[in-house]
Chains A and B, each alone.
Chain A
Amino acid sequence: MLFACAETCEVYTNTMSTPKTVIQLKHVTKQWGSLAALNDVSFKVQSGEIVGFVGANGAGKTTTISAILGFIGATVGTVELFGEKVEPQSAHKLHNRIGYAAGDMELPAKLTARQYFSFLLHQSDGDYADQYKELVQRFKPELGKKIGTLSRGNKQKIALIAAFMTDPDVVILDEPTSGLDPVMQEAFLGLVRDLRARGKTIFMSSHYLTEVADVCSRVLLMREGVIIQDVSAQQLLKRSGKQVHIVTGYKAIRPPKGASEVKTTTKGTKTTLSFVYNGPADELQPWIASVKQLLDIEITEYNLEGAFKSLYESEEKSS
């Protein structure tokens, strides 16, 4: 079982390997005419890291990935893979150590999945028959049908198998689970967990913060071509909690201890207080009981999407 060795491999990788920088961007700017798609972007990804790359549409995630893969060249700054400079004319020399899949990846429509995998295997040195079989068992793709006739989810399975089948040192994924059903999403996340345990490096952009927080050790947040946050997944998870909305007839209401992102609005005789609460539930309960003239209350789970939004908004305000 090549990809299912979570516990044993973790011991192996943690004791045997010292992290090396595998991806490095140094002050990368990419200009499209007058538009700066990337603006002085710098970050490193070490071997063994699973890095999530999050941002709204048009934030520059795909442009960053394109620069890492050498599809585009940086206007200013340098991109390095395994310590070597990535340039469009020479990027292919590094691609035998990289797997790549994107949510909107265009695969050869006239080939069957089996023919496509055969083509891919002929482009790489080495025998990857075992990995291939294992991945086919995991994702169960339609091997005999023309790729062009498959649904988006089935095409995505093929793209993912293609990215992992040559056992690359680094896998770069751009919205990898878009189009996958929940069962296949879980199969994919299971694969990423297994690879994390084996010390593989994965750099993945995603809109799904839950999956990023689930499998990633670090999260980069990008907005308008700039990295605005570089946080550990733990830090991101700490931002989650309860979103509380209180409507009261009492204007001088104060939030409890441990509340953040507090907003108060007054309309006529009604005052609405909203906040995020990270403290223990048994301390929130007496505070609610103490609220005077309570008219309405709503407590919902403050999820990662909320955390992402608040991070994004706070950066927007500060800039």
Chain B
Amino acid sequence: MMRSVYLKTLYDKRWFIFGWTLGLMALTALMVVFFPAMHQDGSLDALVKNMPPAFQGLVGSLADLNSFDTYLASQLFDIRMPLIAGIMAIILALGLSTAEEERGELRTLLSLPLSRVRLLFEKWLALCSIMAISVLGVVAAIYTIGPLIEGGSIELSALLRLVFMTWLIMVVFGTVTLAAGFATGSRAAANTLSILVIIGSFILTTFGQSVDWLRDFEKFSLLHYFPAVDIIKNGIDIVDVVVFCSVIVVSLVAAVVIFRRRDIA
């Protein structure tokens, strides 16, 4: 069971995995249950049309509410899921990096015949696995609750495309935080950087559509490369995958270069 840092980390985080997966499943189930009310009630259309343009960006396109797949993409996956899962990724990545160093547990691990690079990669693999378990929980919730409501069916390949990209953006958020944590050893620095990336992305994408001066900066938002509705309708754009993978690789390389040489508190 406890053969590696990877397995030890999964074991250590078992309650975290259980709690967050359950939470994401509950959120998903709630959004699925709300689908009939969203697409049958015309009053929502009227309400949204009376909102200022900046707030309309928060709701997304009303046309997307008519079918279950685009409804899920626009209302669950487009903003809510990356934001909530992003917070999950930050908490998890901080727990795996700076929290262990602050407690002194990192020194205990590094006193073993275990290279710093291997330690970092095993933690990162554990982070990727935990994210995968959580998004699979979301798939399970959609496939359990969806058939119970009218029109609640979604093509498996479309859902898997969406879930893969959700997983990838979660891994991006987690990797940035983990890398900052391992590179600096400072919870404050890692926290600030990751919150800037997530909240910054959220603000740029949400308000970039309606606020002129933000529009030019919108491509710097990570959410720009996660067009959930387009993923459902047109498939995954390889450029988006390349951007996410590049962020992951650059973050990991920077973390490895700095972490393998720096002093451990």
**Residues 12-30 of chain B, each 1 if its beta carbon lies under 8 Å from chain A, else 0:** 1000000000000000000
Find out whether the CB atom of B104 lies under 8 angstroms from the CB atom of A92: no
A80 to B116, CA, bound (A): 19
Residue of A71, A104, A111, A118 near B110 (CB, 8 A) is: A71
Find out whether the CB atom of A122 lies under 8 angstroms from the CB atom of B104: no
A69 contacts partner chain B, Cβ-Cβ < 8 Å: yes
B54 contacts partner chain A, Cβ-Cβ < 8 Å: no
A69 to B110, CA, bound (A): 9
CB neighbours (8 Å) of A131 from chain B are: none
Find out whether the CB atom of B116 lies under 8 angstroms from the CB atom of A89: yes
Find out whether the CB atom of A118 lies under 8 angstroms from the CB atom of B11: no
Closest residue of chain A to B105, judged by CB?
A106
Find out whether the CB atom of B264 lies under 8 angstroms from the CB atom of A72: yes
Find out whether the CB atom of B263 lies under 8 angstroms from the CB atom of A119: no
**Residues 111-141 of chain A, each 1 if its beta carbon lies under 8 Å from chain B, else 0:** 1000110111011100000000000000000
Find out whether the CB atom of B104 lies under 8 angstroms from the CB atom of A95: no
Most buried by B among A69, A89, A93, A102: A89
Is the contact region of chain B dominated by helix, strand, or loop, or is it mixed? loop
User: For the side of the interface on A, what is the size category?
Assistant: 20 to 34
CB neighbours (8 Å) of A71 from chain B are: 107, 110-111, 263-264
Find out whether the CB atom of A119 lies under 8 angstroms from the CB atom of B113: no
| CB under 8 Å from chain A, chain B span 1-60 | 1-4, 8, 11-12
A100 to B110, CA, bound (A): 10
- Using known A-B contacts A89-B260, A89-B261, determine if residue A69 contacts B111 with beta carbons closer than 8 Å: yes
B115 contacts partner chain A, Cβ-Cβ < 8 Å: yes
- Using known A-B contacts A89-B261, A115-B1, A118-B2, determine if residue A108 contacts B8 with beta carbons closer than 8 Å: yes
**Residues 106-120 of chain B, each 1 if its beta carbon lies under 8 Å from chain A, else 0:** 011011111110000
Find out whether the CB atom of B105 lies under 8 angstroms from the CB atom of A108: yes
Find out whether the CB atom of A108 lies under 8 angstroms from the CB atom of B12: yes
- Using known A-B contacts A106-B104, A108-B12, determine if residue A95 contacts B3 with beta carbons closer than 8 Å: no
B233 contacts partner chain A, Cβ-Cβ < 8 Å: no
Find out whether the CB atom of B12 lies under 8 angstroms from the CB atom of A120: no
A38 to B105, CA, bound (A): 24
| CB under 8 Å from chain A, chain B span 110-139 | 110-116
Find out whether the CB atom of A122 lies under 8 angstroms from the CB atom of B116: no
Find out whether the CB atom of B2 lies under 8 angstroms from the CB atom of A107: no
CB neighbours (8 Å) of B3 from chain A are: 119, 122
Find out whether the CB atom of A92 lies under 8 angstroms from the CB atom of B261: no
A185 contacts partner chain B, Cβ-Cβ < 8 Å: no
Shortest beta-carbon distance from A69 to chain B in Å: 6
CB neighbours (8 Å) of A116 from chain B are: 2
A-B contact pairs, 9 of them (CB 8 A): A71-B107, A73-B263, A88-B263, A92-B116, A95-B111, A96-B113, A102-B107, A115-B11, A122-B3
- 9 nearest A-B residue pairs (beta carbon): A106-B104, A119-B2, A72-B263, A96-B113, A100-B111, A89-B260, A95-B113, A71-B264, A122-B3
A72-B264, A110-B11 are known contacts; what are 7 more A-B pairs with Cβ within 8 Å? Answer: A71-B110, A88-B261, A88-B264, A100-B111, A107-B108, A111-B2, A123-B112
